[in-house]
Amino acid sequence: MKAHARLAATAVASALVVVAAVALPQAIGQADEANPRRVIDVGDSEQLAAAMSAAKAGDEIVLADGEYAIDGMTGKHGTKDAPITVVAKNRGQAVINEGQLEVDKSSYVTFEGLTWTNSDTLKLTSSNNVRLTRNVFRLAEEESLKWVIIQGADSHHNRVDHNDFGEKHQLGNFVTIDGSETEQSQHDRIDHNHFHDIGPRAENEMEAVRIGQSSISESSGNTIVENNLFENCDGDPEIVSVKSNDNIVRYNTFRSSQGALVQRHGNRGQLYGNFFLGEGEEGSGGIRVYGQDHRIFDNYFQGLTGTGYDAALQLDGGDVDTDGSLDSHFRVYRATVVHNTFVDNVSNIEIGANYEHAPADSIVADNVVTGGEGKLFNELKTPKNHTYQGNIAWPTGTATVGVDAPEDAIAVTDPRLTDADGLYRLGENSPAIDAASATHEFVTDDMDGQDRDDKPDTGADERSTADVTRHPLSPGDVGPDAP
């Protein structure tokens, strides 16, 4: 009999295991109103099922090293100060190799330090304040499989952090945030994860992370995706696909990955402080957007080889204007692209590479764009009511500026970038210093986390002697063992 089948057959006996265990101080600490925390040591699948079935606020269910089958958890509620925690005694050594976990209609539950090698999607359904932290995900898959899904009505404030996801070679996402039939899950956070080795390239349905979906893309998610490392993520043209309103994608690092960060649907996205490093990868890209009122700032793009969908920055055309089927590409309106730096990309800023309706009413200002080939500013469709302001362009080799613009819109001058630890920042006496054409209230610091002063510099870097608090992420900065 398989382990997960035994769980149902031993439900009553499992409950008795918990009752008996309460009398064992070495297994469960005594709980009272002043000390709600109980520590429950488990060593096999039946004990795990019993402990999860009887779990209450403050319980810490500790898994000894070994392999486990797991079942669902419904209607379990911890509190902010006394969550229910399921944790490996030794990080990574408790392995979930069978069964499916669905956390349903629950709150304040944490799963920590486990290794997942089972073959079923982990689901957080209609739950809030559920946390998946410091786990390793190596799910077994023979066909399309989404690894983690956040879904259902009344889903909010869940967190996926400090995990390791990879390798993945079938369709499906590492992490998917859906919701109800009408609204995306609210205020979820995805941070400090290592997403790696997804591919080979598919036309669709193999994003590393998908936020929202077409059918509910008119809703707001208020999701934050931050401080993650995406490495060798080649599965989909959209490494991160955002399909709803009012989300933030910031401080992430994309290394040697085909595809781009894409605002596929939705309005008012904020995409800032990200590092895009091509590192020789074919088809590596940056940011592509559709929709209205996006802010794109303080991003650093270097060595990207993609064009079109995979350009360093693509303010794309739309196949509908402001109304149409929810799976359409909506025309870009009022995008604000400021204080970004582009270094040695095959294609830097492209406008309207695809579809019918060119972007409208957008501003591209105070960016530094350098490169040795192609057009640094490439208008494949002529944008409507478009503003260039305060940009610096430095074409070398066979490159050209690409558009005819006055000096105050695009100044052709050497920004005097200097190589510091593989990144190009403003050197001494750079014409970009204090040269920004305007201040933007939402741009308060630079790509390094250094404050902008009253006369901000052009580009993603503010020349400063202050401590650098942000940098391109490496594996040691993210995942289960990171600080």
Residue 136 predicted with pLDDT over 50: yes
Q: How far is 393 from 345, CA to CA, in rounded Å?
A: 13
Q: How far is 377 from 289, CA to CA, in rounded Å?
A: 16
pLDDT at 34: 57
pLDDT at 272: 98
- Of 261, 218, 268, the closest CA to residue 242 belongs to 261
The identity of residue 259, as a single letter, is G
Distance of CA 44 to the CA centre of its chain: 34
Mean pLDDT of the chain: 93
Q: How far is 304 from 84, CA to CA, in rounded Å?
A: 44
The identity of residue 79, as a single letter, is T
pLDDT at 145: 98
Q: Give the residue-averaged pLDDT of 164-173.
A: 97
pLDDT at 17: 33
Residue 28 predicted with pLDDT over 90: no
pLDDT in tens, 209-224: 999 999 999 999 999 9
Residue 449 predicted with pLDDT over 80: yes
Residue 26 predicted with pLDDT over 80: no
The identity of residue 196, as a single letter, is H
Do residues 325 and 352 touch, judged by C-beta distance below 8 A? no
Give the DSSP H or E segment for 8: helix 3-9
DSSP string, 253-288: EEES-BEEEEEEE-S--EEES-EEE-TT-TTEEEEE
pLDDT at 33: 57
pLDDT at 29: 47
Q: Give the residue-averaged pLDDT of 300-314.
A: 98
Residue 30 predicted with pLDDT over 90: no
Length of the chain equals: 483
Question: Where do we find the tokens 């579809």?
Answer: 355
Q: Is the dihedral of CA 32, 33, 35, 39 positive or negative?
A: positive
> Where do the domains of the chain lie?
1-89, 291-483
Q: Quick one: pLDDT band at residue 18, thresholds 50, 70, 90?
A: very low
DSSP string, 447-468: TTSPBP-SSPPSSS----SSPP
Q: How far is 246 from 265, CA to CA, in rounded Å?
A: 11
Q: Give the residue-averaged pLDDT of 384-394.
A: 98
Residue 414 predicted with pLDDT over 50: yes
Long-range contacts, 11-17 (Cβ 8 Å, 24+): 11/49, 11/53, 13/46, 14/46, 14/47, 14/49, 14/50, 14/53, 15/50, 15/53, 15/54, 17/46, 17/47, 17/50
**Higher local confidence (pLDDT), 147 or 10:** 147
pLDDT at 37: 87
pLDDT at 35: 59
